[in-house]
Structure 1
Amino acid sequence: MFKKLPGDEAQHLVSTTPDTAVVFRPAVLRTPAIVTLIIFAWRLLAGVVRLLWRYPIASAVVAVPCALAWLSGWQWGLGLVALVLLGLTAWALVDRPSFARLVGWRLLAWWRLVWIYRRHWQPVMIISGLGRHVRGRDYLPRVLGVRCTSWADVVTVKMLTGHAVKDWSDRTEHLAHGFGATSCRVSIARSGRLLLVFPRHDPLATPLPAVTIPEETSVGPVEVGQCEDGKPWLLKVHGTHVLVAGATGAGKGSVIWSAIRGLLPAVRAGLVQVWALDPKRMELSFGRDLFKDRYAAAPADCADLLEAAVAVMQERADRFAGLQRSHTPTVRDPFVLVVVDEVAFLTAYQSDKGLKLRISAALATLTTQGRAVGVGVLAALQDPRKDVLSIRNLFPDKIALRLDESEQVDMVLGDGARDRGALADLISPQPDLGAGIAYVRLETSPDPIRVRAAYVSDADIRAMAGEVTA
C-alpha cells in the first residue's frame, strides 16, 4: 500500500462539536544553516564562473580597474578608466564602422540582453503561451545570445522539447509587443534553435533615388534597391522568372524600371533585349524608344509578341540541344526579358477567349521552358489569386509589395510566409512611406527578405531611352 502523507489522517477525524474546525499542522523539517550556506556559496560560485565564461571582455572591463584601484589606489583605477574611454572615443571618431563592428554592437547587444530580453523573458513567454508554469516551476525556452546589427536585434533561442516553429511564428505579434519592437520575424538556425529578429528602427523609411547606371556590361543580378540590412538589393533576372504583385500605387513600376535600368549597359551592347507588354498603355509607354518594335499595348499585339518570344525560345532550343544546357548572352543570342506590366488584364480580364488562350499558353510555355535558353519573364499584377494567374507557381522568384489582404501574402510568397514576418498587407499606403517596399522570397530560401525598390522618375526613363537611341 502507498504510504500516507502527513495530513491524510485528517479526513478520518470525527468531531463531536460541529462548529469546531480541525486544525492540522504539517511536519516541518528544519535544514541546518551550514547546508543552506553551502548551497548558497555553490550557486554564487557557479554564477560567477558562468558570467566570466560567457562575458569575458565585459568582466575584464569591470574587474581590471577595480583590481588596480584596490592595489594602487583609486586614482590609478580612475585614470585607467579615463584613458580607455578616451581611446574608445578617438577610435569611434576616426573609424566608426570598425568601432561599431568590434565594440559598439557588442556593448549594445550585452545591454539589450540584460535590460530588455532577460528582464522581460519570463512574463512574455508565460503570457504568450510559449512557456509553461507547472506546480510552481517555470519551463521556459532559453536565450542563447543576442547579436545587434545596425537596424535590428537577432536573438538566438533554444526551444523547449516538443515546440514547433509554427508555435513561434503564430505568436510573432506577442513577441514584438512584449519586447517593445514593431515586428518580429522567425527563422530556423538549426534543429531546436531559432533566430528572432526584432527591428529597432526602419532603414527603409525614406524613398530611394534611382540607382546609378552600372558601368560594366552584365545581365545580372542587377541592383534595384536596398535591403533592410543596408546591403544592395540584387535582383536576378537572367536564368529565372520574376513575379511582382502589389496593389495600385504599391511601386510595381519602381521594380520594373530599376531592373531595366540595371540592364541598360547590356542593352546598349546588344547582349539584352527588353520586350514590353503594356496593356494599360501607361507604365511602359515612357520607354517606347528603348523597346523599339518590341512594344505591344493592344491585346492582339501582346499575343503576337508573346508568340514571337516563344518562337525565339523554340529556335534556340533546337540549336542548343545536345550542345549546351545553360545560356550565355551573345550578340547573336541575347538575353530576352519579356516584361508584362499588368498580366491579369491579359490572362483573366480579357473578353476575347481566343486571345486569352493564346496569351496563357504562350506565358506558360515561356515560364516552363525559357530559362535554359535565355528567355525570362518579369510579370506584374495586382490580384494574385489563382483564378487570375493560374501559372504563378511557375515563377521561382516572387516579390510582394503592399497587398490588400493578409491571405494574399501566402498566395504570392508561399504558405507560411506571413507567419515568418512578411507583413506585406501592413505596408503603409502613403507613397512616401510605403511605395517600393516589398518582401522577397528567393528560389533558394523560404525566409522572406524586406527590401525597397529605388524610384525611377519619368525624367530618368526618358534619359535611359535617349541613351539607347543615341
Structure 2
Amino acid sequence: MFKKLPGDEAQNLVSTTPDTAVVFRPAVLRTPAIVTIVIFAWRLLAGALRLLWRHPIASAFVLTPVAVTYWYGWRWGLGLVTATPLGLTAWFFLARPSFLRLLGWRLLAWWRLVWVYRRHWQPVMIISGLGRHLRGRDYLPRVVRVSCTSWADVVTVRMLTGQAVKDWSDRTEHLAHGFGARSCRVSIARSGRLLLVFPRRDPLATPLPAVPVPDEASVGPVEVGKCEDGKPWLLKVHGTHVLVAGATGAGKGSVIWSAIRGLLPATRAGLAQVWALDPKRMELSYGRDLFGDRYAASPADCADLLEAAVKIMQERADRYAGLQRSHTPTVDDPFVLVVVDEVAFLTAYQSDKGLKLRISAALATLTTQGRAVGFGVLAALQDPRKEVMNIRNLFPDKIALRLDESEQVDMVLGDGARDRGALADHISPIPEQGAGIGYVRLETSPDPIRVRAAYVSDSDIRAMAMEVTA
C-alpha cells in the first residue's frame, strides 16, 4: 500500500556486536532546480528592498555614483565620488549641528548596526538566554532599528512571543558586556517592543557649575542640573514632594541648594518661601539669612517649625474647601517648600520619643495633605531603610545618588529600578567624578533617568543670601 522509502529498513536491522553502530541513510527529497532559483531570486529581491527601506541614505551613497556613471560616463561618476567627501567635510566643519542631525548620526547608526549589533547579536542572545536553539534552528529576538545620539545607541528590539520585560531587565549586564558598553537600560517602547540604551560615553563626567539664577519668578519646575541626554534637569517642587537619598559626599547638598537657587526670584517676589530644618547644623547654615525666622536646627525647634507649617497648611485647606482644588502662588498664599537636610536624624535617631512622634506626625501630614494647597517637602537622608524612613512612599518623586548597596536602589526608586539600569551603587565615590550624579524616578514614569546636579559653592550661597537680604 505504502511505498518504502530509503532508510525504512533500518528499523529491522539487528546488530549482535555491542560496539557496532547501525548506519542508515535518511530519505532524500529532490527539489526541482526552477523552484530553488525562484526562492533565491525572491530572497535576493526582498533583501534588496529591505536594505533600501531601512538604510536609504547609505544606499543612496552607493547607488548614486553608479547611476551617474551609467547615464553620463565614468568622468562624471569619478567627479561625483571625489566631490562628495570634500562637500561632506566642509559641511561637517561649517555646520556641524545640521550635519550630525541630518546625516552624521544616521551613518553612525548604520555602522553600529552592521559592525556591532548584527555581528554579535546571535551569540549574545544565545549565551544570555534571550534566544533559543531548538532542533538546529535559532529563535532570536529581532533588531528593528538602531538610532544614535551624541552619547548613546538606542536599539529597538522585537521580543520573542512569550518573553517578558523582566527577562531582559535581568540580563542587562550580559547585554552591556556582550556589545561593549558600560551599561544597558531597558524600557518599554510599546507592546512586544523594547528600547535598549547602550551609552558610548559619559556626558556627566565633568562637574557642573551652579545654574544661573532665573530671571523670571516661578515656582517650577526649577533647573538644578543636566540630564544624560544633554537636556536641562528640571526638578518639580510645586505640587509634589521629593526624597533625595545618598551616601555621605554623594551630593545631596547640590540638589538642595540648586532647588533653592531656582526659587530665588520667586522668594524675592514673595511667591515662595523656603523653610529649612538643619539638624546637622552644617549644610543649610551657610545660607541662614535666606530663611529668616523659618530656620530650625535643634530637634525641638524643628518640631515647632513643622507644626507651624501644618497649622498654616490646614488653615489654607479650610479656606480652599469647596472653592478650589489646586494652588496658585500669590503673595498672600505663597508656595512653601520645607527642606529637611537629614530627615533620618529627626524620625529614627531621635532619642526623645515625644519629639520623634511630633516630627513624624507633622511630616506625614505635610506629605499627605500639602500638595493641593501649596506645601512641598524636599527631604534628604543617607539610610533609605524603611525602619529609618517609614514614610518614604509618600514622596512621589525620588532621587537616588551614590548608594552603598545594590538593594538600596530599589528601596529608594522602587522595585525593579536597578534592573532597568539605575546603577546608583556603581557611582564613583571620588567627588570630582561622582558627586551630584544620580537617578531620578518621577511619579509619571517608572523608568529611571540619569542626571547630575550642579555644584553650588559656598560663595554662591553667600551671594544668594546677600541678594535676598539686600
Q: TM-score range by the shorter chain?
A: over 0.9
| Aligned counterparts, 1:200-219, within 5 A | 200-219=200-219
Determine the structure 2 residue equivalent to 1:458: 458
How far is 1:330 from its partner?
A: 1.1
Distance in 2 separating the partners of 1:3 and 1:437: 74
Q: Judging changes above 3 Å, is the alpha-carbon distance between structure 1 residues 436 and 5 closer, same or farther for their aligned structure 2 residues?
A: farther
| Aligned counterparts, 1:132-281, within 5 A | 132-281=132-281
| Aligned counterparts, 1:435-446, within 5 A | 435-446=435-446
Name the SS for the 2:210 alignment partner.
coil
Q: Judging changes above 3 Å, is the alpha-carbon distance between structure 1 residues 281 and 41 closer, same or farther for their aligned structure 2 residues?
A: same
Aligned-partner residue type, residue 232 of structure 2: P
Aligned-partner residue type, residue 304 of structure 2: D
How far is 1:144 from its partner?
A: 0.5
| Aligned counterparts, 1:4-403, within 5 A | 6-7=6-7, 9-14=9-14, 22-403=22-403
How far is 1:288 from its partner?
A: 0.7
Q: Judging changes above 3 Å, is the alpha-carbon distance between structure 1 residues 16 and 462 closer, same or farther for their aligned structure 2 residues?
A: closer
Aligned-partner residue type, residue 328 of structure 2: T
Aligned-partner residue type, residue 186 of structure 2: V
Asked whether the 8 Å contact 2:7–2:27 carries over to 1, the reply is no
Name the SS for the 1:417 alignment partner.
coil
Aligned-partner residue type, residue 287 of structure 2: G
Q: Judging changes above 3 Å, is the alpha-carbon distance between structure 1 residues 283 and 4 closer, same or farther for their aligned structure 2 residues?
A: farther
Instruction: Encode CA deviations 1:441-468: one digit per residue, 9 max, x unaligned.
Output: 0110000000000000111111110101
Q: Judging changes above 3 Å, is the alpha-carbon distance between structure 1 residues 19 and 191 closer, same or farther for their aligned structure 2 residues?
A: closer
Distance in 2 separating the partners of 1:79 and 1:392: 67
Determine the structure 2 residue equivalent to 1:410: 410
Instruction: Encode CA deviations 1:96-139: one digit per residue, 9 max, x unaligned.
Output: 11211111111111111111111111111111000011101111
Count how many residue pairs are aligned between Structure 1 and Structure 2. Answer: 470
Name the SS for the 1:240 alignment partner.
coil
Q: Judging changes above 3 Å, is the alpha-carbon distance between structure 1 residues 30 and 240 closer, same or farther for their aligned structure 2 residues?
A: same
Name the SS for the 1:452 alignment partner.
strand
How far is 1:3 from its partner?
A: 9.6
When structure 1 is superposed on structure 2, of 289-298 and 225-234 the one drifting more is 289-298
How far is 1:15 from its partner?
A: 5.4
Aligned-partner residue type, residue 75 of structure 1: R
Is residue 2:450 matched to residue 1:424? no
How far is 1:145 from its partner?
A: 0.3
How far is 1:37 from its partner?
A: 2.8
Instruction: Encode CA deviations 1:266-325: one digit per residue, 9 max, x unaligned.
Output: 111111111100000000010111111111110000000000100110111111112211
Q: Judging changes above 3 Å, is the alpha-carbon distance between structure 1 residues 74 and 296 closer, same or farther for their aligned structure 2 residues?
A: same
How far is 1:6 from its partner?
A: 4.9
When structure 1 is superposed on structure 2, of 308-317 and 3-12 the one drifting more is 3-12
Distance in 2 separating the partners of 1:430 and 1:208: 15
Distance in 1 separating the partners of 2:206 and 2:20: 77
Distance in 1 separating the partners of 2:33 and 2:372: 79
How far is 1:86 from its partner?
A: 2.6
Aligned-partner residue type, residue 119 of structure 1: R
Instruction: Encode CA deviations 1:158-212: one digit per residue, 9 max, x unaligned.
Output: 1100000000000000011111110000000110010000001000001000001
Name the SS for the 2:156 alignment partner.
strand
Aligned-partner residue type, residue 181 of structure 2: A
Name the SS for the 2:416 alignment partner.
coil
Aligned-partner residue type, residue 363 of structure 1: L
Instruction: Encode CA deviations 1:363-394: one digit per residue, 9 max, x unaligned.
Output: 00000011111111000000111110111000
Name the SS for the 2:310 alignment partner.
helix
Asked whether the 8 Å contact 2:143–2:158 carries over to 1, the reply is yes
Distance in 1 separating the partners of 2:135 and 2:90: 54
Name the SS for the 2:40 alignment partner.
helix
Q: Judging changes above 3 Å, is the alpha-carbon distance between structure 1 residues 8 and 262 closer, same or farther for their aligned structure 2 residues?
A: same
How far is 1:21 from its partner?
A: 5.8
- Superposed CA RMSD in Å reads 1.8
Distance in 2 separating the partners of 1:151 and 1:193: 22
Q: Judging changes above 3 Å, is the alpha-carbon distance between structure 1 residues 351 and 29 closer, same or farther for their aligned structure 2 residues?
A: same
User: With structure 2 as the length reference, what TM-score do the two structures score?
Assistant: 0.96
Instruction: Encode CA deviations 1:35-71: one digit per residue, 9 max, x unaligned.
Output: 3333222221221122122222321221110122234
Aligned-partner residue type, residue 450 of structure 1: R
Structure 2 residue runs of 5 or longer lacking an equivalent are: none
Aligned-partner residue type, residue 329 of structure 1: P
Name the SS for the 1:315 alignment partner.
helix
Instruction: Encode CA deviations 1:1-26: one digit per residue, 9 max, x unaligned.
Output: 99987545334324578887654333
Name the SS for the 2:410 alignment partner.
helix
Name the SS for the 2:243 alignment partner.
strand
How far is 1:32 from its partner?
A: 3.9
Q: Judging changes above 3 Å, is the alpha-carbon distance between structure 1 residues 334 and 131 closer, same or farther for their aligned structure 2 residues?
A: same
Q: Judging changes above 3 Å, is the alpha-carbon distance between structure 1 residues 50 and 469 closer, same or farther for their aligned structure 2 residues?
A: same
Aligned-partner residue type, residue 303 of structure 2: A
